[in-house]
Amino acid sequence: MSPSGTKVQKKMLLKSMLVALGASVLLTACGGSKGASKEGDGPTPIQMQTLNYATEFIDNTNPIWKEFEKRTSTKLDITWLSPSTSEEKINVMLASGDLPEVTFVESLINPQLQKMIKQGVFWDLTPYIKDYPNLSASNLAEMWTASKVDGKNYVIPRYYPSYGGGAFPILRKDWMDKLGLQTPTNMDQLFEVLKAFKEKDPNGNGQADEVPYAANPDTMGFVYGVFNGTQGQWKLKDDKLVPVITEDASRDAVLWLKKTFDAGLFPKDFAIMKYSQTVDLIRGGNAGGTSQSMNHAWVTGSKIREVVPTADYMPITYLENAGGEKYTPSGTPYYGVYLIPKKVPEAKVKKILGFFDYAYGKEGNELATYGIEGVHYTVQNGRKIPTPQSEKDHLGDGNMNNLIHLISDDMSIGAVGMPDDVYNRNVEIVNERKKIKTPNPGSELYSEAYNKYYPEISKKVSDMRTKVIIGKDTIENYDKFIEQLRNDPTLKQVADEMTEAYHKKMSSQ
Amino acid sequence: MRKRSSKPEAKLREPKRPLWPDLKRDRYLYVLALPGILFFVIFKYIPITNLVIGFQDYSPYLGIAGSPWVGFEHFTRFFSNPDFWMLLRNTLGISLMNLVFFFPAPIILALMLNEVRHQLMKRTVQSLIYIPHFLSWVLIYGLTYLMFSQSEGLFNKLLTALDKDTVDILSNPKLFWGMLTAQSIWKEVGWGTIIFLAAIAGVDPQQYEAAVIDGAGRFRRMWHITLPAMRNVIMILLILRLGTIMDTGFEQVYLMMNAAVTEVAEVFDTYVYRVGIRQGEFSYSTAIGLFKSIVGVILVVGANRAAKRFGQESLY
Amino acid sequence: MIMEVNSSWKDRLFACANGGLLILFSLAMVFPIYYTIVLSFTDSTEYYTRDLILWPHQWSLDAYKYLLGNGLFVNSLMVSVFLATVGTALSLLVTGGLAYAISCRRLRFRKTMMFMILLTFLFTPGLVPVYLIVRNLGLIDSVWSLILPSLTSGWYVLLMKGFFDGIPDSLDEAARIDGCTEISVFWRIIIPLSLPAIVAFGLFFAVGYWNTYFNGIMFINQQSKWPLQVLLQNMLVDPTTMGGGEQNVSLQMNRQLPTETLKMAAVVIATIPIMLVYPFLQKHFATGAMVGSVKE
């Protein structure tokens, strides 16, 4: 891809740099070169790349890494991506065609990725999966179905539980108990609970300094979901997908949010706050609730328990709308996908699948998260107790368990150091949530027009909503704007393409 | 022979001379220039050829050679976007505010610093005002929030204490451009003085002494001695600044933007970020980048001509 | 120093107003910095529960212990220092050489070169082609990938040329009559004469290298070669600040968002070393650098 003549200039550059600028010792000291690994009969070398949330990345000297290589007879070359910039980096790698043998992409809906899959850049893994017992095990079946593109499995999804994640209200259980309030199950009750937080002084300091709900526009998406009785941006009506943004139920959602804002139950700076600032409000100890995933209900609250030990944020189970439709957040049972480019020979594709098969099995799965029994953990009463060695080898907070997620609800409801009672309550809540199936017809659907036009439309709508909520614009203007959108040919085109994609997906499953 | 370039007569065309003796005579100069030239060729010109993807429907898999050509399709899409005029208005508005208020600020500050006789004070002030340059925009966003937000802001707390109503600053479309300019000045004005102070440092103190003896007042000395010493630098910076009039400092605008101010805050850079980078439309975003560059080239060439005509320092 | 022959009341008034304004100005600049430093030493619980902290009740070194306790810290510091020294030296050489060459009016192809440099200033190539070049040069995971692609820019070259243009031609002519070659004129006359400018540019480059972040993310995969800014950012992962939103919220695994005090400490650690360079360079901005050589 580099233009001709680059080679000559390359040489010239290197020479002139060496001669004119002086080759310092540091050049050799700091300019590392990778030794190319030879392919032979021994362990298969595999290049991989994935996101890593750990603060310290492990390398091939780490015992877990070595253990994986030993047990799968591979030689791993893993490039860790820092989450703060992974999006840019992955896009640049995709755009440059510089793909490792196992390429990680955070979202299947990445437009660049969709184009490349259609152009045949990646292996179709459909015919191979059935040969691997762990990968084709029944508990993972849903994950494989949901991640199909045009009816084929191009990706190895990275498991993530369907339930437990997603931004949904978490409320101060200790405050509700103190004020004798029930856990809300619909929007009116939620409003009343927040109102009581504001007016009845649950923190007992005599001042009305409580922030009933630490909200910003991004974290309130669930309100639209509840009113519409559906998840995501699309609603199924008469076998067609219609955009949620133009539904009347969304208008009701805006009005509910406006009512709540006007009653002073959101921070005054609702419109300008970033997510991290809502978390800061929680840490300040005076917030009655916010929108968070289940494990974060506990993690986010950890700072304030140092001051208020009784502070207890409880995730609520569901909220229902006037039509009695229950809403709880859920998603596809994976987060992030791995792909194998066609440049990898078939024999190696099988080896790579073999690696994942091991890692998705019980033994490999536990190795990635807990390490080696007897070295990194001991089993007492059926629970795995980590040893000091566990921390030394950087287990737990990332690394190998970011490459291979633990196949368990613990991914979204558990956290390091979470006490048993909180964990057990989370298990109960998540089991209740699992009984609720809120439809999400637009999930993992892709269309060209959607990618090209929808984000702009959606941004305008959300700006309009926010302006109405904080009183910078009127509901009449909102109505006018939505009426315009309903007649907008571009949005119609997007909806048509999405409906088509939906039917295609349905028929292929 | 080197000539002071500000003299108009220096622009006499040299007669045609054989090439080789000249090249040979100046071989050391070429050697000095070589690493820089190589840098520009390798890290600028070779990558710049990739800008042709603005006329393609680029796909990494097919590469530049294989991607289909679409002519001006991306440009047409961009110009026919109903938001185009809003983006242009906001971009130019913010840039002009910067040009009028932010650009002269370090010059004035440098002049003020130059008039300080007390050396210790001068140095202290100098070392303090350049610190904000090191703070990232994310942090400055945080500090701005801390100072001016309605619920937590120090400024509004002060107003409340004085029994006045709180003022909405951060989500007020009328104040948005002014706030951006003020932030830029706060962050970069001290840092900006460095280059002007370096220029002033070249002034021969005897000139000042002579002027004092001639009875020139403080402002006349500033006008006739200090400012001319900075002229080269000011002109170059001004012309270059015009070339980047379509850039507005993406990070700052993106962080400060909120739903209430999008009407005045959406600029080309934020649009490109959303459309080009997050949605992965490389060709489209490249086309927008090309449009910005071409506007920049026209402005720079024009400004340079004008500067030459008025006998000022010019770029080339 | 300039002698004040007629130090009238007008002058004194001016000096007072001028000084007063500057002091006010400095205060406006300093307060947030002061605040940042204080917060970095504040106990994080206190930060979240108190309204405004001008002086912490409880001093805490926790944030610093956490950041400096990272095993990679010293490594990254070394990388950043290497960049700020070697990188700056190389940048000055490359920029200065090119700027000096194109400031010589008799040089053939001078205008072509200048226009070409100007164009690179206006047309910015995308990230992808630059990434490919760096990869094809075999620089991925080498510290040189953090230096070579950012050696100089059109802005620096043209601005430095502006400084060289300001040097009276009588000086280098005199030198040439003494039998100096171009190179020795450059070394012995031009460089010393433009010292204030060179110091200023050196500072620009050093700060630029010190703040190396994006290239570090793009070109360096091995953590042991990360520059300081990349390391600190990774420790403060907050994917929601720039976009992100709902989806990320649920998926940050078990890692907490960094506390505000931690962020402040990171700012202090990341900026103090490079900030300390300035006072040492300051004397070179003093007037009169040129006078001596004119008299000789």
Residue where the block lists tokens 């030794």: A35
Domains of chain C, earliest start first: 12-60 (no CATH), 71-287 (1.10.3720.10)
Task: State how far the Cα of B8 lies from the Cα of C184, in Å rounded to an integer.
Answer: 29
pLDDT digits (tens, 9 = 90+) for A131-152: 999 999 998 999 999 999 988 9
Least confident of A472-486, B49-63, C203-217: B49-63
The SS3 assignment for A73 reads coil
**Direct distance between the N- and C-terminal alpha carbons of chain A, in angstroms, rounded to an integer:** 39
**How distant is the Cα of B110 from the closest Cα of chain C, in angstroms?**
11
Chain C residue numbers touching B233 (CB-CB < 8 A): 159, 162-163
Residue B13 pLDDT: 52
Low-confidence winner among A237-251, A464-478, C223-237 (lowest mean pLDDT): C223-237
Which residues of chain A lie closer than 8 angstroms to C234, CB-CB?
A: 55, 82, 84
More reliable by pLDDT, A116 or C238: A116
Helices (H) and strands (E) in chain C, counts: 19, 0
What integer is the mean pLDDT of C170-182? 69
Chain B nearest C-alpha distance from A408 (Å)? 31
Hey, what are C115's tokens?
């226009």
Name the residue among C3, C133, C207 with its Cβ closest to that of B209: C3
CB-nearest partner of A303 from C131, C222, C259: C259
In a domain? residue B112? yes
* CA-CA-CA-CA dihedral for C248, C250, C252, C255, to nearest 10: 150
Is the CB of A167 less than 8 angstroms away from the CB of C131? no
ipTM of the complex: 0.83
Domains identified in chain B, total number? 1
Bridge partners, residue A50, by sequence: A80
A 10 A CB-CB count for A500 gives: 13
Q: Rounded to an integer, what distance in angstroms lies between the CA atom of residue B56 and that of residue B284? A: 9
Question: At B149, which CATH number?
Answer: 1.10.3720.10
Q: What angle do CA A265, A311, C43 make, to 5 degrees?
A: 95
Give the dihedral of Cα atoms A135, A136, A137, A139; nearest 10 deg.
80
Contact B106, B238 (CB under 8 A): no
Specify if B259 maps to a domain: yes
DSSP string for C146-202 = HHGGGS--HHHHHHHHHHHHTS-HHHHHHHHHTT--HHHHIIIIIHHHTHHHHHHHH
State whether A303 and C257 contact (CB < 8 Å): no
Whether B48 maps to a domain, the answer reads no
Give the mean pLDDT of chain A. Answer: 86
pTM of structure = 0.83
Q: List, for residues C237-292, the tens digit of each pLDDT value.
A: 654 433 333 344 344 444 556 777 888 888 888 888 888 888 777 777 654 444 33
Q: Say whether C294 and B186 touch across the interface (CB within 8 A).
A: no
In terms of residue numbers, what domain contains B216? 91-280
Q: Which residues of A touch B63 (CB under 8 A)?
A: 1, 97
**Residues contacting A287, CB < 8 A, separation 6+:** A172, A210, A211, A212, A213, A214, A278, A281
Distance CA B49, CA B52 (A): 6
Q: Which of B65, B83, B151 sits opposite A268 (nearest CB)?
A: B151
**Residue B225, domain member (yes or no):** yes
**Pairing mode, strands A326-327 and A319-320:** antiparallel
Whether A413 has a pLDDT exceeding 90, the answer reads no
- List chain A residues with CB under 8 Å of C239: 83-84
Residue with tokens 């009672």: A421
Torsion of CA C3, C8, C9, C12, to 10 degrees: -10
Question: Please, are residues C158 and C118 in contact by the beta-carbon 8 Å criterion?
Answer: yes
Query: Which residues, numbered 230 to 269 in chain B, qualify as contacts with chain C under a Cβ-Cβ cut-off of 8 Å?
Result: 232-233, 235-237, 240, 243-244, 254-255
Q: Which residues of C touch B283 (CB under 8 A)?
A: none
The reported pLDDT for the residue numbered A86 is 79
In a domain, B64, yes or no: no
Rounded to an integer, the average pLDDT of A314-338 is: 92
- Full set of structural domains in chain A with CATH: 44-163+333-413 (3.40.190.10), 168-329+422-508 (3.40.190.10)
In this prediction, residue B306 carries a pLDDT of 87
Tell me, yes or no, whether B43 lies in a domain: no
Inter-chain CB proximity A272 and B278 less than 8 Å: no
Q: Is there a contact between B316 and C285 if contact means CB atoms under 8 Å apart? A: no
Tokens of A81: 């991506």
pLDDT of residue A426: 93
The answer to whether the Cα torsion of A178, A183, A189, A194 is positive or negative is positive
Rounded to an integer, what distance in angstroms lies between the CA atom of residue A67 and that of residue A65? 5
Which of B109, B106, B50 is CA-nearest to residue B237? B106
Give the pLDDT confidence score for residue C242 in this predicted structure: 36
How distant is the Cα of A127 from the closest Cα of chain C, in angstroms?
31
What number of C-beta contacts closer than 8 Å exist between A and C?
A: 156
Say whether C19 and B118 touch across the interface (CB within 8 A): yes
Greater pLDDT, A54 or B277: A54
Higher-pLDDT residue of A299, A169: A169
Low-confidence ranges of chain B (pLDDT < 50): 1-12
Neighbours of C223 (CB within 10 A): 23
